[in-house]
Amino acid sequence: MIIESRRRLGRSSLEVAPLAFGGNVFGWTADAALSFELLDAFVAAGFNLIDTADAYSRWVPGHVGGESETIIGQWLAARGAGMRERVVIASKVGVEMGPGEAGLSRAYILRAVERSLQRLQTDYIDLYQAHRDDPATPLDETLRTFDELVRSGKVRAIGASNYSAPRLAEALRISADAGFARYETLQPPYNLYDRATFEQELAALCRREQVGVIPYYALASGFLTGKYRSAADAGKSQRGARAQSMLDARGLRILAALDAVAAASTATPAQVALAWLLERGVTAPIASATSVPQLQELLGFARARLDRGMMESLDAASA
């Protein structure tokens, strides 16, 4: 299956296929060799957006952060110069990397971007994102710094992650007034189970301002794949604790609706969950895989066709 369709990231010139590979698994649940296989399969299928962050995977005992970016850089180097032009690399800055190494101040962003460029073995990052809001740093300072990186060519476009609607709106206003590069994308948590945070105010703001939406937790940490049906299922996985919290009446109702739509559309629950996001207007949901067969299943979401009745059924179950 080759994906031909492309979507712009906001108003930028960056065009991506409608699914992003979540690079949080690289160097964590996928070693370098497996990561290379996954990235090869992802690109071979016609997809191109790879999402990572400098902090991936600092939460793992013994890790210091930068593991994911390092593996992506090694893969790019191994595949040759032509591969860099085929992919859109999105990374993030702001989450703590050590004492005094966090936030969105000018000094820290300038240090962090050089480290990310070195790990990624590239001279530019396609989409550089504020990993989370930093109330301690004026938005003007952060946006001015990002603008300098865009003007220098080290960054092609900028985005925000985990911003509230008021703060995103303020950032967009500052950029417009000052002529700075603006946040072209937003990464919110958004899926069939977690709808409220994005849909309450952020969805309308992003539509109005033409901000691309790249939601993370697109499969609710695996819950929407249908592999967690009981507490016993949840106990078998590293992500099981969160899945267990979703095994309530609403969660089970969502799984039942996914099963019904999947059967009617000859798709899998995971494919239906991703297709639902696209029908809701997002640019490219982020999903991860730790095996090539698992990845190929996810990529098959592009074949899922959800009609109005299917969407209404999923919307009602997850309301």
DSSP tag of 96: -
Are 269 and 225 within 8 A, CB to CB? Answer: yes
Mean pLDDT, residues 158-168 taken together: 98
Residue 3: its pLDDT value, please?
A: 60
Per-residue pLDDT tens digits for 75-134: 999 999 899 999 999 999 999 999 999 999 999 999 999 999 999 999 999 999 999 999
Are 224 and 254 within 8 A, CB to CB? Answer: yes
218 falls in which pLDDT band (50, 70, 90)?
A: very high
Fold of 7-187: TIM Barrel (3.20.20)
Element at 277 (helix H, strand E): helix 269-279
**Residue, of 296 and 237, whose pLDDT is higher:** 296
Closest residue by Cα to residue 161 from 286, 288, 316: 286
3, 157, 310 from 43: Cα distances, Å: 10, 21, 30
Residue 228 is among the residues annotated as catalytic for this protein: no
CA distance 231 to 268: 22
Closest residue by Cα to residue 219 from 126, 292, 281, 297: 297
Element at 160 (helix H, strand E): strand 155-161
Mean pLDDT, residues 287-313 taken together: 95
Q: Residue 148 contacts by C-beta under 8 Å, 6 or more apart in sequence?
A: none
Are 21 and 30 within 8 A, CB to CB? Answer: no
Is cis: bond before 57, omega within 30 of 0? yes
Sign of the torsion angle spanned by Cα atoms 2, 294, 21, 208: positive
Per-residue pLDDT tens digits for 40-87: 999 999 999 999 999 999 999 999 999 999 999 999 999 998 999 999
Per-residue pLDDT tens digits for 26-37: 999 999 999 999
Per-residue pLDDT tens digits for 238-270: 666 778 889 999 999 999 999 999 999 999 999
Residue 238: its pLDDT value, please?
A: 64
